[in-house]
Structure 1
């Protein structure tokens, strides 16, 4: 009955398999894709979710995949994504497990009026003027990291460094010094929630998923160089859909914090060091709340 209703709305629905839905097929394709590192490329969708990537290229319309007995509608149209993220009370977050509820306390796992109240209370702490007052704390953490890297190069012209744990530790240190009373993991989980929204006004029991890594690499939106690293495409601001921090009322509350931290850290690093990708780096992006390098992010670091 649900499948017929979805098809009547122009949604392509994958054939349902008793109890497991399409989970086994999705897991099989994902395991095969992640069995070895891929070639160095920004075209990573086939690694992250090969089944969804194939479907997205085949059907230029919403798709429904069965997560067990629950149909999940995949939305890739930027206009629909904006609409969904703007209507904060109509599109609710998916239910989390009791274990996650126990560990997660905050914006990441509440909805409705309670979410609106908490968001209103917390917003002032993330206002740009408030964050500017925290710049000295940001500076101290960045300086400590730069000093640490300087020591690594004290007796050599270059060294290999895995910057994944370095940046993870930097972010944790900055948050601790800023004394927000929350953890790094909570901010990541809050960001992660922006990519998954549930309870749509489709048939009851249907969830929504927005695969942002596909939308933001679509040649129809970004041109033939969609897969290239090209920061200049944002020289005039975000004139095209870009959902790294979500959108609308639910946009990540830590966006200003994260951007200020990243700009300061990069500015200090580039004043002291040059670097290039290490030959030992294995390209294998995967999703663990956020997009991360599965085997680390090794660079060859040199002092300027």
Structure 2
């Protein structure tokens, strides 16, 4: 369409008075003016920008006009007196003739329905389940760009609508197309090639654009610690207080032991005939950690919980693909195949969870004792709040945790526990495959502590070598390679003034590898650096935060590390292992850092 209109105008046809004609006429005149003055290097409006402006025109015009009309018709249906007044005015002005611009200017009654013309007022994009803080203003990309650059912060130039999304996505797709040529811990350029390029060109602190939102990257530990402790200014989604308390001490020994035992029994059957066999341990570890979470969260209903978590995993994959594409207002309502599947999964999860919750709620209300799993604890808390309100005859008192929050917290429990555990374990097995000396030291410690008996919590707390290994794995392969926080009001961070609406990104992986903070061996696997604790290892630089920092630290930390200690101890008691020749080192971020092509190791049964 653009090419056809452009050719017609180049042949002398007058530009039409529609948007496309005006936009095309603009670059043609600019090119002619530049050629006449020999300034062909000056910035011109490109045909790509013409395309983008047409898209923007559709979004700003079609969506707002249709929504304004539909709500006007609905409200006038409810208010017949105003419908009659408007109808009378329109008939007096136009009778049965076609309406015209001059007449529109005299429609006083119709105009009182609407906001004054001249400005298209687009508020900030609303996301489901997110509250809109009063201090958050609409995005102003060019103004924000000037603000950030005036402070000496380097960054990319804003590109209409998409920002840096196209470059970020295309570079990442190219990097993921093939595995790394050799086993190397220096994989930042593979998992985040665009960010790595910015780090190299612009330095440790810079900004880029995620659509219309600036993302400010902070890589100084002291600023990160300041930001992660200022929870009012730098926020992540809030959780119900009971969930924090639950996760702090919610360690289900029986679930850990039983699930890990089942996984190890499967491995023993696999290697039974030859005493050694290649096994891709990644899917086994994913199933193991999901099984633990299902038992811990749902207890006797754990089979239903497993089905829910399978659906949730698929939903996470769909959400990831959505995040990699630009978001437009109303996009999620368009019945694309992806949106339909996402909604179907969400409805299915809600139905399954509500069925489990209703069944357990009735049992508890009937006097059955609440079990020790997450679901019963949350439901019991909800019921007691309702009973307390009834006992005090306080009809206005509402439960601080609703049944919908119970559903959401069960989902969160899965994400915070299952993903972090399986990822910590898989990278631990891979690194101990490459470092047989540390595998032997860990096995010796486990056998001295437990022998061939099942590990217990008291013994797990005394595993110094295992703890050192897990900390070093978390340093080199943190589950979340970066943390993000949204700024809800203009705020200061060190010497920087950051605007409301911006996102702040903390590069965990980069800081965990910074030689200025960790020394020349920062790229080497050296668990010994943690022999005297984290503070000594970081040289007091606050440079180790695989689960975040401050009051909003990841609630799955204790759960994941305890489960990893338990599983690693039981594996060390039964097997030794080494990397298989078929293993291809390919770290990838799918929300969390994981091996793209699995984790193939040679398992050897200990005699």
- What TM bracket, shorter-length normalisation? 0.7 to 0.9
- CA drift of 1:44 comes to 0.8
1:277 pairs, out of 556, 579, 582, with 579
SS of structure 2 residue aligned to 1:275: strand
Distance in 2 (alpha carbons) for counterparts of 1:210 and 1:286: 18
Point out the structure with max Rg over C-alpha: 2
Residue in 2 that maps onto 1:196: 484
Q: Of the candidates 181, 206, 228, which is equivalent to residue 502 of structure 2?
A: 206
CA shift, 1:54, in A, is 2.6
Structure 1 length normalisation: TM-score?
0.85
Higher relative contact order structure (alpha carbons within 8 Å, sequence separation ≥ 6): 1
List per-residue Cα deviations over 1:197-254 (Å, max 9, x = no partner): 1126322332111221222111111112211222222222212221111110111111
2:547 is the alignment partner of 1:245? yes
- Runs of at least 5 residues in structure 2 that lack an aligned partner in the other structure: 1-142, 298-373, 376-409, 421-478, 491-497
Question: What TM-score do you get using the length of structure 2 for normalisation?
Answer: 0.44
Shift of 1:19: 2.5
Judge conservation of contact 1:194–1:252 (CA < 8 Å) in 2.
Answer: no
Structure 1 position 52, deviation (Å): 1.3
* Corresponding residue for residue 85 of structure 1: 228
CA shift at 1:125, angstroms? 2.0
In structure 2, the partner of 1:14 is 156
* Contact 2:164 2:211 survives alignment (8 Å): yes
Q: Deviations over 1:105-135 (max 9, x none)?
A: xxxxx33xxx3xx1x312332334x52xx22
Instruction: Give the 5 Å matches for 1:225-240.
Output: 225-239=521-535, 240=538
Distance 1:61 1:284, change over 3 A: closer
For 1:278 and 1:261, the matched residues in 2 are separated by 25
Alignment root-mean-square deviation, CA: 2.1
Question: Measured at CA, do residues 300 and 210 of structure 1 come closer, stay the same or move farther in structure 2, by a change above 3 Å?
Answer: same
Work out whether residues 2 and 203 of structure 1, in 8 Å CA contact, stay in contact via their aligned partners in 2: yes
3-state SS of the aligned residue for 1:21? coil
Partner of 2:511: 215
Q: Hey, which of these two has a bigger chunk of strand by percent?
A: 1
Write the distance in 2 (CA, Å) between the matches of 1:275 and 1:11. Answer: 48
Contact preservation (8 Å) 2:268, 2:605: yes
Following TM superposition, by how much is the alpha carbon of 1:266 offset from its aligned partner in structure 2, in angstroms?
0.4
Cα gap change, 1:83 to 1:255, in 2 (>3 Å): same
Give CA deviations for 1:171-190 in whole Å, capped at 9, x if unaligned. 11111222334256432689
**Greater alpha carbon shift after TM alignment, 31-40 vs 245-254:** 31-40
Output the CA distance in 2 between the equivalents of 1:266 and 1:196: 30
- Equivalence for 1:3: 145
- 1:72-113 Cα deviation digits (max 9, x unpaired): 1111111111111111111123xxxxxxxxxxxxxxxx33xx
Say which of 147, 157, 168 aligns to 1:26: 168
Asked if the contact 2:480/2:593 (under 8 Å) is kept, the reply is no
In the TM superposition, residue 31 of structure 1 has moved relative to its aligned partner by 2.0
Q: CA deviation at 1:58?
A: 3.7
Q: 2:186 aligns with which of 23, 38, 43?
A: 43
Aligned length: 279
Q: Following TM superposition, where does structure 1 have runs of at least 4 consecutive aligned residues deviating by more than 4 angstroms?
A: 188-194
